[in-house]
């Protein structure tokens, strides 16, 4: 009987969401072109080398975490199960592959620029 009550609750929530979606939404007035709005200061954009270093550090952190979890599992540490170890290993593998692909694209772009005639 509890399944029937749960289904009814879900259906009621779906109906409520439909009703909320059907209500007209007040669209903000079109911006007045003569109105002057204050500009926002541009955000500080990190340099390419900083972004690259952060990416490499992130991949390194994932690999270290993966290695630590694998070592803890091998030692039989309580609370470390094989699923966490495998997920961490896959995350580090995917991150490393992505970083390698980005590196390859950067090198290819550099080579293309160097081949351009002056």
Model confidence, pTM? 0.58
Residue ranges per domain, the chain?
A: 48-115
Please give the pLDDT value at position 1. Answer: 46
User: Is the dihedral angle over the CA atoms 67, 70, 75, 79 positive or is it negative?
Assistant: positive
Q: What is the pLDDT of residues 29-83, one digit of tens each?
A: 555 666 666 777 778 888 888 888 999 999 999 999 999 999 999 999 998 999 9
Cα–Cα–Cα angle for 112, 116, 118, rounded to 5 degrees = 150
Collapsed DSSP state (helix, strand, coil) of residue 38: coil
d(CA 49, CA 106): 12
Please give the pLDDT value at position 115. Answer: 93
Q: How confident is the model at residue 93 (pLDDT cuts 50, 70, 90)?
A: very high
For the chain, report the end-to-end CA distance as a whole number of angstroms. 79
């Amino acid at each position: 009987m509890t399944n029937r009550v749960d289904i009814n609750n879900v259906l009621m929530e779906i109906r409520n969401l439909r009703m909320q979606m059907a209500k007209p939404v007040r669209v903000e007035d079109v911006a007045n072109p003569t109105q002057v709005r204050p500009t926002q200061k541009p955000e500080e954009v990190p340099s390419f080398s900083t972004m690259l270093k952060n990416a490499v550090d992130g991949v390194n952190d994932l690999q270290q975490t993966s290695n630590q979890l694998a070592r803890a599992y091998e030692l039989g540490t309580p609370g470390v199960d094989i699923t966490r170890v495998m997920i961490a290993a896959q995350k580090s593998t995917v991150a490393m592959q992505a970083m390698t692909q980005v590196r390859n694209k950067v090198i290819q772009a550099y080579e293309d620029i160097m081949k351009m005639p002056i």
